[in-house]
């Protein structure tokens, strides 16, 4: 696969439900790289907080309790054939972290600076050997600012909400378009306005608006960017 090509770091950032995880995963598979979904790590911390009563009924978060609990939260990924499973303290939480309940509280949890410091440090350790595709909100700006390839993905909020509803329905999770759209818009807002590493495009990131693109053409676009990047090293 990549035996004669230099190993690089690939950072894929963008808005919620922009399809960046699917394209990042597919690229990693095509080029034989490791794929890490950094959002799954924030979701796992949010799930832990939810289960331990650290999310209050009005959806505000008990910041101090979460910070104190951080040493007890261990996140790992298990590779299962072509799929990847998120482990929270050894438990497979892959489906539990994808629920609307977690989507509702993940962005406030991810805005806590101590949570970000802990997860960013873990993500940087995962990437020391390169040969990695990581997707998230701050990968090209904070986690791997020196990544050789950076991409920033966006699409209209309506398109993103439609895609997320279809994905949830496929998983058997009931969700209305209005509920998902308002969650997408709300998370965009929290992610863009938080003080610690807010969501923004790195100056050297390739921009992709995939609102009207098919999955095949966006995968091809990403592979072309990769080949182009490698060709210029
Ligand atoms: O739902 P979607 O796949 O778009 O989001 P995700 O990638 O699973 O991330 C869930 C949430 O985690 C985001 O809305 C952010 O609040 C947070 N996140 C972050 O702050 N930094 C990252 N690198 C990744 C996710």
Give 81-92 pLDDT, tens digit per residue.
Answer: 767 899 999 999
* C-alpha of residue 137 to centroid of ligand 1, in Å: 6
Q: What is the C-alpha separation between 24 and 163, in angstroms, rounded?
A: 16
The tens digit of pLDDT for each residue in 171-211 reads 888 889 999 999 999 999 999 999 999 999 999 999 999 99
Which atom of ligand 1 lies closest to the CA of 139?
Answer: 23
39 lines ligand 1 (CB under 6 A): yes
State the Rg of the chain over Cα.
Answer: 17
* C-alpha of residue 37 to centroid of ligand 1, in Å: 9
107 lines ligand 1 (CB under 6 A): yes
The tens digit of pLDDT for each residue in 115-146 reads 999 999 999 999 999 999 999 999 999 999 99
CA–CA distance from 174 to each of 8, 99, 137, 158, 179 (Å)?
A: 39, 10, 26, 18, 10
Which atom of ligand 1 lies closest to the CA of 135?
Answer: 23
CB-based contacts of 60, cutoff 8 Å, min separation 6: 108
Identify which of 17, 20, 38, 42 to mutate to test ligand 1's pocket (most ligand atoms within 8 A of the CB): 42
The tens digit of pLDDT for each residue in 24-68 reads 999 999 999 999 999 999 999 999 999 999 999 888 999 999 999
* C-alpha of residue 138 to centroid of ligand 1, in Å: 9
More confident residue, 4 or 182: 182
Residue ranges of E strands in 155-192 = none
Show the DSSP H helices in 71-156 as ranges: 100-110, 113-126
């Amino acid at each position: 696969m990549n035996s004669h090509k230099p190993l690089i770091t690939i950072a894929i950032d963008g808005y919620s439900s922009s399809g960046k995880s699917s394209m990042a995963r597919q690229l990693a598979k095509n080029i034989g790289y490791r794929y890490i979904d950094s959002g799954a790590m924030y979701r796992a911390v949010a799930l832990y907080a939810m289960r331990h009563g650290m999310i209050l009924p009005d959806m505000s978060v008990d910041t101090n309790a979460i910070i104190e609990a951080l040493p007890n939260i261990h996140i790992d990924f298990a590779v299962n054939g072509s799929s990847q499973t998120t482990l929270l303290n050894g438990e497979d939480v892959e489906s539990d972290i994808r629920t609307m309940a977690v989507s509702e509280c993940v962005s406030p949890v991810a805005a806590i600076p101590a949570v970000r410091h802990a997860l960013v440090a873990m993500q940087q350790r995962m990437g020391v050997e390169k040969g990695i595709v990581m997707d998230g909100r701050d990968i090209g700006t904070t986690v791997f600012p020196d990544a050789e390839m950076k991409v920033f993905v966006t699409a209209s909020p309506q398109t993103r909400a439609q895609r997320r509803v279809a994905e949830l329905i496929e998983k058997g999770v009931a969700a209305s378009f209005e509920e998902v759209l308002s969650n997408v818009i709300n998370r965009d807002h929290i992610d863009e306005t938080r003080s610690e590493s807010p969501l923004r495009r790195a100056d050297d990131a390739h921009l992709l608006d995939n609102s009207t693109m098919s999955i095949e053409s966006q995968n091809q676009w990403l592979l072309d960017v990769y080949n182009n990047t490698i060709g210029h090293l």
